[in-house]
Amino acid sequence: MLSAVVLTKNEQDNIAKCLESLEFCDETITIDDFSTDKTVEFSKKYKAKIIQHALNNNFSAQRNFALSQIKSGWILFVDADEVISPELASEIKTAITRADHVGFYLPREDILWGHRLHHGDTRTSLLRLARRGAGEWRGRVHETWVVSGRTGTLASALDHYPHPTITDFLNHINYYSTLRARELRDQGQKPALFPVLFYPPAKFLWLWLGKLGFLDGTPGFISAMMMAFYTFLTRGKLYLT
């Protein structure tokens, strides 16, 4: 049994492509944070099971709630702006037959403004496929699935289509930086000027040079700059709290 889970909140522009790519799964569940657009209507067209549950600015809690709704088998978490390619779907179907693993990392690549980015902060592997009961999600934002047992990594990339416009990118990092600043404060980190001044340029240099973001051209440069700005917003908001 393979259950796919998608968290949604006003994702009418993305949800159809995402759900269509999940038709190979035995069931698809959308955990919807009371969308006010046509997300729920579009989800019904793909026979997704829709459960409305408030996010309350805690992504791990929302994902752990999703885990509680599934009783057996394997669980695949996919964001609404992500798409499972046929090649990755085939790998997943093979992976869940392996009794010696409890989970698998999926390499993810961002596709920004028509350009696939292979470097910088966008190429990463995320644990998104695991057996039910193998672990739990942790972290209010930038959450991770922590499991106990052997894990592997699949070869085909998960396609990620974030931020269709710069405005959307800015709105996104403004929201997430607020949550991250609150999380850092709750973890006991103290406001300080040094991180505000030095973390953002260090972040840019790491992504642009250290992780070879320059090889992705102008989109790679913009992505590195925006992630550095995200770091500035996070540390600035923490400093001002």
Predicted pLDDT of residue 141: 83
The model's pTM:
0.88
Q: Which of 30, 9, 31 is nearest to 172 (CA)?
A: 9
CB 161 within 8 A of CB 111: yes
Predicted pLDDT of residue 142: 85
Predicted pLDDT of residue 17: 96
Predicted pLDDT of residue 166: 87
Amino acid at the residue 152: G
For 3, the token pair is: 């259950």
Predicted pLDDT of residue 113: 84
Report, as ranges of residue numbers, the positions in the chain whose pLDDT lies below 50: none
- Domains recognised in the chain with CATH numbers: 2-160 (3.90.550.10), 166-240 (no CATH)
Q: Which residues pair with 2 in a beta bridge?
A: 74
Predicted pLDDT of residue 127: 97
Predicted pLDDT of residue 120: 81
Sequential DSSP letters for 71-128: -SSEEEE--TTEE--HHHHHHHHHHTT-TT-SEEEEEEEEEETTEE--STTS-EEEEE
Predicted pLDDT of residue 79: 97
Amino acid at the residue 138: R
